Each structure stands twice: as structure tokens, then as C-alpha cells.
Amino acid sequence: MNKRFFLKATAALTAAASFGLAQAQTTPIKFQLDWRFEGPSAFFLLPAAKGYFKDAKLDVTVDSGNGSGGAVTRVASGTYDLGFADLAALMEFHANNPDAPNKPVAIMMVYNNTPASVMALKKSGIKTPADLAGKKLGAPVFDAGRRAFPIFQKANGIGNVAWTAMDPPLRETMLVRGDVDAITGFTFTSLLNIEARGVKADDVVVMQYPDFGVKLYGNAIIASPKILKENPAAVKAFLSAFTKGAKDVIADPAKAIESVKARDGIINVALETRRLQLAIDTVINSPSARAEGFGQINGPRMTLMASQVSDAFNTKTRVKADDIWNGSFLPAAKELDILPKGKK
């Protein structure tokens, strides 16, 4: 009896030790989204839900956000290891905080094109960028499209405009009410929000920045220098698991939305599925993304954007493109080859 007890106890201790070792080998990673849980956040929530991060020995916590600027500062502060943020916001942080000790860098491009658009109702008479001259535009002060509007303005020779600031939930409402003539926002956010307020998509003029000479990059995965230095293997594992999940999301957006619903039970599933599909079609599986490769960037294009952001944002110092980007943690090209061919 004592021998049997001894064997059982030994087996239990061995199992506990093995479990403890496995736990010790799992790297915790805190990840900060740019926005609340909406359709596009499936790109991060699905690999977590499917266990892709866990399989890569990562314990990833994905938190909702309140803007790219917040995501950048939280990664810079060390509160988060990785995040998802608009590249222009990252560039601005670098240029305005040249002496900051922990400036995040972009390690993987996700939105190859900026999702920013100017949107107006057709009944306003606004049809082209030139029609915006003298008009009242609305957006939150931190909106990526508003911050980059001077680049859009210069590219299209637009005269002066007047800006009205508001909280994000009021933006589309104020447009529909006629309080402003046009708004800036992410296409897949604002267009669907306008529809939700009773306006048909056919009655909205959408001027997407990339269609009007503004070839800015959009959102990228960003990382703190600390984790890049201390645990490069975990960063590579994260990007590999993320890429595997991204392939699943692109293949079946409707199924992917289940991972978002699991995190926020009150989302409108049909609406968020459309939002996710719109994001895929406009900024993820775009012609430029397929040309450059998912996750990757074009050096001259990045350099041009750095110059444009320096001018438009009137930064303290000039943005240095080489300080912003580190592509050395990306999966191999074959692994990144996840974009379906033949879409426009």
C-alpha cells in the first residue's frame, strides 16, 4: 500500500512539475488594440480564440483601445508589449518625443493603405475634393483622417476648410443632421455608421485618401524596444500565429466575427461582418498590399510618408523612416503569402 501511495505521489509531483515547466515556458504578452472590439479586431481575437497564440507558447491578452495615439503611448510606457496603431501616429510620437527612452517601432504592416476617407452626403452638392473648399468638416481632433487632411488637401489643391471637433459617437450623427458638410474617418467605420443612421450607401460620397493621391500606410503592429531586445523569439512567434489567424479571417470573415462576438456580446453581427469585409477589401487585400506583400512595406513609399507626416503634423523634428520600421521579425515570404489573388 505504501509503495502504491509512493508511486501515485511521485506521478502527481512529476505531472505538477511538468505543468509548471510548461507554464514557465509560456510568455505573457499584453496587446493593445487601436479601437473598441469591432469587425477588424477579429484579426487579433481569432488567433487568440483558436489557440494559435497558445500553440506558440504565448499567453496573449488583447485589450480594446480608444485611438492609435493611446496605443502608441501605452506601448511606449511599457504598460503593453505590442499594439496596433496608425503608422502616422507612431511617426508623430517619434518626431515629437526624440528623447523618449522606449519609442515603439512598427514590425508588421496590416493596413497597407490608410483607411481614411472624406465622406459627405450627395445632397450637399459635394462631389470632388475641390468642392470641400470653404466647407465645414467634422471629426474628433485625434482622428487619423483629420490629422492627415493637410496631405489630402495639398494633393488635391483644396482651399481652406473649417473644422468642428466632436466625440467619436457624434461624428456621423452630426453629418446626417447637417451640422457639418463632411467628415473624415475610417471608411469601414464611418460609412457603416452613416448607414446605421438611416442613410443609404448610394447617397454618400466617399473620397478614400488612397484614391486621391495620398498613399499613406495605415495601421501596423507595433512593439516596444524592450520586448524586441529581451524576447525576439516571442515576437516572431506572435507574428507567425497572427499571420495564420489572418489567413483564416480573410478566408471566412463571417466565421471570424464569432471571436469578436465572444468578447463583446452586444455587437451587431451582420454590421460587423460587413465592416470586416470592407476592411479586407479596401486596406488589407488591396492591389498595393499584394504588390508589396502582406505585412511588408516599400522603402521609398515609407520615406515619402515620413516626409509628408513631418510637414502635415508640424512635428518638432523630422520623421526618420529608418527609426520607425523593423521588418526583421516577420515570417518568411512563403508564410506571408496569404492574400487571395485577383481581387481589385
What DSSP line would sit under 237-261, residue for residue? HHHHHHHHHHHHHHH-HHHHHHHHH
Q: Give the three-state DSSP class for 293.
A: coil
Tell me the CATH number for domain 26-113+217-336. Answer: 3.40.190.10
pLDDT (0 to 100) of residue 8: 63
- CA-CA distances (angstroms) from residue 129 to 114, 177, 221, 344? 17, 21, 31, 23
Q: How far apart are CA 147 and CA 325, in angstroms?
A: 21
**pLDDT band at 206; cut points 50, 70, 90:** very high
Q: What angle do CA 69, 45, 219 make, to 5 degrees?
A: 35
Digit-coded pLDDT (tens) for 107-162? 999 999 999 999 999 999 999 999 999 999 999 998 889 999 999 999 999 999 99
pLDDT (0 to 100) of residue 341: 82
Residues paired with 61 in a beta bridge: 30
pLDDT (0 to 100) of residue 272: 95
Q: How far apart are CA 112 and CA 28, in angstroms?
A: 28
Both ends of the chain: CA-CA distance in Å?
A: 73
Residue pair 267/261 in contact (Cβ under 8 Å)? The answer is yes
The total of other beta-carbon atoms located within 10 Å of residue 268's CB is 15
* CATH fold for the domain made of 116-212: D-Maltodextrin-Binding Protein; domain 2 (3.40.190)
Q: How far apart are CA 330 and CA 109, in angstroms?
A: 10
Q: What is the CA radius of gyration of the chain?
A: 22
Cell of 15: 505531472
**pLDDT band at 42; cut points 50, 70, 90:** very high
Q: What is the residue whose three cell numbers read 470573415?
A: 253
- Full strand arrangement of the beta sheet holding 82-86: 58-63, 27-32, 82-86, 219-223, 105-109
- Beta carbons within 8 Å of 8's beta carbon, 6+ residues apart: none
Q: What angle do CA 153, 168, 90 make, to 5 degrees?
A: 60
Query: Mean per-residue pLDDT for 66-74?
Result: 93
Query: Mean per-residue pLDDT for 219-248?
Result: 98
- Kindly state the percentage of the chain with pLDDT values over 70: 92
Cell of 73: 503611448
Q: How far apart are CA 22 and CA 20, in angstroms?
A: 5
Digit-coded pLDDT (tens) for 152-200? 999 999 999 999 999 999 999 999 999 999 999 999 999 999 999 999 9
Assess whether pLDDT exceeds 60 at residue 44.
yes
Q: How far apart are CA 270 and CA 280, in angstroms?
A: 16
Please list the alpha-helical segments (H only) found in 130-223.
144-147, 149-155, 171-177, 187-196
Do the first three CATH levels of 26-113+217-336 and 116-212 match, i.e. the same topology? yes
Among 195, 198, 31, 22, CA closest to 107: 31
Domain residue extents for the chain: 26-113+217-336, 116-212
pLDDT (0 to 100) of residue 344: 47
Assess whether pLDDT exceeds 90 at residue 6.
no
> Using the 8-state DSSP alphabet, how is residue 99 labeled?
T
**pLDDT band at 22; cut points 50, 70, 90:** very low
- Kindly state the percentage of the chain with pLDDT values over 90: 90
Assess whether pLDDT exceeds 60 at residue 1.
no
Assess whether pLDDT exceeds 80 at residue 19.
no
Q: What is the residue whose three cell numbers read 446605421?
A: 196
Question: Reduced to 3 DSSP states, what percent helix, strand and coil does the chain have, rounded to the nearest 5?
Answer: 55, 15, 30
pLDDT (0 to 100) of residue 104: 98
pLDDT (0 to 100) of residue 343: 47
Average pLDDT across the chain, whole number: 93
pLDDT (0 to 100) of residue 16: 53
Assess whether pLDDT exceeds 90 at residue 9.
no
Assess whether pLDDT exceeds 50 at residue 333.
yes
